[in-house]
């Protein structure tokens, strides 16, 4: 940060950069293959911030209207006739020079079913059909542009890397980083190629080098239109939470899910309240965290593929189902193997659960323990630590405490108090008003159990 401040103050005082080196580089950008279900969900989520379920609903409408091919597919394959129509459109709108070799994607993976074509317009000659609502127009244009672009030539770009001298800390910078240069880079498009197909939905990038011309040995004055130079102090942030379309990309890479289940799987997680969608980001709920912390470990084993909640277990199971469908495996044998492995995992989980108390048992124990004297509690547990007891022993202790506290009001759990607080907040009640409903003065006085306040 000290070096950054020195550079900032130096540039602020001088108001210009001394260019020591300028390097140019030309490169091409290739078009991508037509959409599969997962890439469509990712693209619409990234560009329009749409949820997978919303994208699939809109795509369903386009498919039923006959404007696009089937939207549940993992193939990038397209028909020869559709490619011919795309090339005809490209030639008539731009020129034959915009035609490319055609992109159909990489070598199909073993879990690719390839039952349907890629998602493409049924009539590539129609840039935008009539009768579509705004959402359908957006998605159709995205699908049409991606397919047309797949049959076009590369776009051409030039990048320019600039180095400038910062004399203010030459020796110190050289000793710490081995350089006295500051780097910057800019780029512009030379030839649009396939990007022409996206001209209706994408912003036009820079098409020429910056002005005035930047050359070696030249001094460039800093722009005064906004704060320049600008010192931005930032800290390393943890990875951002997943978006719904980001989860689709992860599922695809892990071999989990199929075109027909991506959106449904995410919807199921939300419906069961294992996570919530907070401004486009998936956040685990208390219930979801409890599942991961208190249930998942019981079903883990030394063999990753045998872990019930692992991606490899799910991927292998789905691969088995695919092989049953294609006749490579017998359904009865796969089912028998699954039942045996699941029974072994479940039996092991029951044994593991008995080895130590659950979070719920410990919470209940602590609430009951506050109702008896230290002497009485000592008679019940002796020198044992509740957290180190096994499930059976903590159960015996809880039963004894329940008998010792029979008829005594049990303190409310942290979860019950939190729930009461959230209800009061939603009703815009302060604590005293809410507690007055049951004749108390604070939430800490609340009791649990069937007859609790």
Residue 245 burial by Cβ neighbours in a 10 Å radius (0-12, 13-18, 19+): buried
Give dist(CA 413, CA 364) in Å, integer: 8
Closest alpha carbon to 37 in 248, 253, 309, 281: 248
What would the two tokens of residue 64 be? 């039923």
Residues with a catalytic annotation lie at 70
Residue 409 burial by Cβ neighbours in a 10 Å radius (0-12, 13-18, 19+): middle
- Sign of CA pseudo-dihedral 95, 96, 100, 102: positive
Give dist(CA 319, CA 257) in Å, integer: 10
What phi and psi values does residue 197 have, to the nearest 5 degrees?
-70, -20
Q: How far is CA 315 from CA 243, 255, 323, 373, in A?
A: 21, 5, 12, 54
- Beta carbons of 20 and 216 less than 8 angstroms apart: yes
Nearby residues of 120 by Cβ (< 8 Å), 6 or more positions away: 34, 35, 68, 69, 78, 82, 143, 147
User: Please, which residues bridge with residue 286 across strands?
Assistant: none
DSSP H or E stretch at residue 407: none
């Amino acid at each position: 940060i000290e070096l950054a401040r020195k550079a900032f103050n130096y540039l602020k005082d001088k108001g210009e950069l001394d260019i020591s080196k300028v390097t140019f580089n030309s490169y091409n950008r290739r078009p991508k293959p037509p959409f599969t279900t997962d890439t469509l969900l990712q693209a619409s989520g990234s560009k329009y911030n749409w949820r997978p379920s919303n994208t699939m609903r809109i795509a369903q409408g386009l498919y039923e209207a006959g404007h696009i091919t089937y939207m549940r597919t993992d193939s990038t394959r397209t028909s020869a006739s559709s490619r011919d129509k795309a090339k005809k459109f490209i030639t008539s709108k731009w020129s034959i020079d915009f035609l490319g070799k055609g992109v159909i994607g990489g070598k199909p993976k073993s879990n690719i079913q390839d039952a349907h074509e890629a998602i493409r317009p049924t009539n590539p000659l129609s840039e935008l059909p009539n009768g579509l609502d705004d959402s359908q127009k957006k998605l159709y244009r995205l699908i049409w542009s991606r397919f047309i672009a797949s049959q076009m030539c590369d776009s051409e770009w030039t990048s320019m890397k600039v180095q400038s001298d910062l004399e203010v800390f030459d020796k110190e910078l050289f000793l710490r980083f081995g350089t006295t240069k500051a780097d910057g880079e800019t780029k512009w498009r030379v030839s649009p190629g396939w990007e022409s197909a996206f001209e209706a939905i994408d912003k036009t990038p820079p098409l020429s080098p910056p002005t005035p011309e930047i050359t070696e040995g030249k001094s460039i004055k800093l722009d005064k239109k906004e704060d320049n130079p600008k010192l931005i102090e930032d800290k390393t942030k943890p990875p951002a939470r997943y978006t719904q379309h980001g989860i689709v990309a992860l599922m695809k890479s892990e071999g989990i899910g199929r075109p027909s289940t991506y959106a449904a799987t995410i919807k199921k997680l939300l419906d069961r309240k294992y996570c919530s969608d907070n401004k486009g980001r998936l956040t685990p709920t208390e219930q979801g965290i409890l599942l991961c912390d208190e249930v998942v470990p019981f079903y883990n084993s030394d063999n990753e593929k045998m872990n019930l909640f692992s991606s490899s277990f799910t991927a292998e199971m789905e691969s088995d189902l695919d092989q049953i469908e294609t006749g490579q495996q017998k359904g009865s044998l796969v089912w028998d193997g699954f039942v045996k492995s699941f029974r072994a995992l479940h039996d092991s989980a029951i044994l593991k659960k008995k080895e130590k108390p659950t979070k719920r048992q410990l919470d209940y124990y602590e609430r009951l323990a506050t109702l008896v004297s230290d002497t009485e509690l000592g008679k019940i547990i002796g020198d044992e630590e509740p957290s180190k007891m096994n499930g059976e022993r903590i159960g015996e202790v809880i039963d004894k405490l329940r008998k010792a506290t029979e008829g005594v009001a049990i303190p409310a759990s942290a979860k019950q108090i939190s729930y009461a607080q959230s209800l009061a907040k939603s009703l815009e009640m302060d604590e005293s008003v809410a507690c007055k409903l049951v004749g108390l003065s604070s939430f800490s006085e609340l009791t649990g159990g069937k007859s609790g306040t």
